[in-house]
């Protein structure tokens, strides 16, 4: 962290950030990067702190939502689906839906995008053609059929969503809250701008001058950020472009373990409750596994000249 100015620093530990900004009952946006840069370490800290009555908001939420459901942290889901592309729908999610333990507001990826975009814009809804002819209206009261005031054409109004907090994993951030993110951003920017508070998990902390040097990679204005957590490997087992690849085996192992509630409890005891931090999690993962996943091929983008 040499050269990092700590004036106005928003640096917190993961435990501090979750305790301060994710109280019981929070509506929280997680996993908005479409199966990349999923903030698993933040979700695991919520489980360790026994955060309760959460509403989980996101498009393709990956297995992080499934883990929070299995740990009885969540009571409501607003998502396109809960699971993973190679393992299917999450088992904890299935059990919770079948038992009536959790309320589900079904979305498509596009309706979730529009709901957060409306929240970011400060408008009550966004009009769209999507969802017409679908059965999303049966489980989602945020979708209303309307007529275009200009043409009379049928449209759908997607009501805005304003989470209490968004948690996003990024490649690098300054202590003051400015951050760079690249790769598949999904709707991370919309989630940040729609949320009342923002927590950034950064692979590395860099000087403010580095963030200012490339404004096109800035994810969210620094004044909108409430906490910055230096958390290497925060997104494992999902990928972090430029740092590490997707850990396919973890998804398969989790799928096999979580087929039963007992199996999930055993998995949780090892990977979440059995460690106190991401650093200890990485000790369990092992240096060799990290070495194999780490991105070593250097493929930087071509520099640009902003004229200053």
Tens digit of each residue's pLDDT (9 = 90 or more) over 199-208: 999 999 999 9
Burial class (CB in 10 A: 0-12, 13-18, 19+), 243: buried
The 8-class DSSP code of residue 79 comes to E
164 contacts 26 by C-beta, under 8 angstroms: yes
The Cα 109–Cα 11 span in angstroms is 32
Tens digit of each residue's pLDDT (9 = 90 or more) over 211-265: 999 999 999 999 999 999 999 999 999 999 999 999 999 999 999 999 999 999 9
Lowest mean pLDDT among 184-198, 205-219, 289-303: 289-303
Six token digits for residue 179: 């951050």
**Is residue 4 very low, low, confident or very high in pLDDT (cuts 50, 70, 90)?**
very low
Show the domains of the chain with their CATH numbers. 25-235 (3.40.1080.10)
231 contacts 14 by C-beta, under 8 angstroms: yes
Q: How many CA atoms lie within 13 A of 220 on its CB side?
A: 30
Tens digit of each residue's pLDDT (9 = 90 or more) over 10-60: 999 999 999 999 999 999 999 888 889 999 999 999 999 999 999 999 987
CA angle 215, 191, 233 (to 5 degrees): 75
CB atoms within 10 A of CB 153: 10
Residue holding tokens 């769209």?
128
CB atoms within 10 A of CB 89: 12
Q: Mean pLDDT across the chain, nearest whole number?
A: 93
């Amino acid at each position: 962290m040499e050269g990092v100015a700590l004036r106005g620093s928003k640096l917190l530990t993961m435990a501090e950030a979750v305790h301060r900004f994710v109280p019981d009952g929070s509506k929280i946006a997680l996993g908005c990067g479409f199966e990349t840069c999923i903030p698993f370490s933040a979700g695991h800290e919520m489980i360790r702190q026994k955060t309760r009555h959460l509403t989980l908001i996101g498009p393709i939420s990956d297995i992080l939502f499934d883990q929070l459901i299995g740990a009885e942290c969540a009571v409501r889901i607003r998502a396109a689906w809960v699971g993973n592309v190679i393992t299917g729908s999450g088992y904890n999610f299935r059990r919770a839906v079948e038992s009536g333990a959790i309320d589900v507001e079904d979305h498509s990826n596009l309706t979730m995008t529009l709901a957060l975009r409306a929240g970011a814009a400060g408008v009550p809804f966004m009009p769209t053609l999507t969802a017409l002819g679908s059965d999303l209206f049966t489980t989602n009261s945020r979708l209303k059929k309307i007529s275009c005031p200009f043409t009379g054409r049928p449209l759908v109004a997607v009501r805005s969503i304003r989470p209490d907090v968004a948690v996003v994993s990024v490649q690098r951030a300054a202590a003051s809250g400015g951050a760079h993110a690249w790769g598949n951003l999904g709707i991370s920017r919309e989630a940040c701008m729609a949320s009342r508070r923002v927590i950034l998990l950064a692979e590395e902390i860099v000087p403010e001058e580095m963030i200012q040097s490339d404004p096109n990679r800035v994810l969210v204005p620094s004044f909108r950020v409430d906490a910055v957590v230096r958390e290497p490997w925060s997104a494992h087992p999902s990928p972090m472009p430029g740092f590490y690849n997707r850990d396919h085996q973890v998804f398969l192992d989790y799928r096999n373990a979580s087929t039963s509630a007992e199996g999930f409890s055993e998995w949780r005891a090892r990977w979440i409750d059995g460690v106190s931090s991401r650093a200890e999690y990485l000790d369990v993962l092992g240096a060799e596994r990290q070495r194999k996943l780490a991105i070593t091929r250097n493929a930087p983008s071509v520099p640009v000249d902003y004229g200053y």
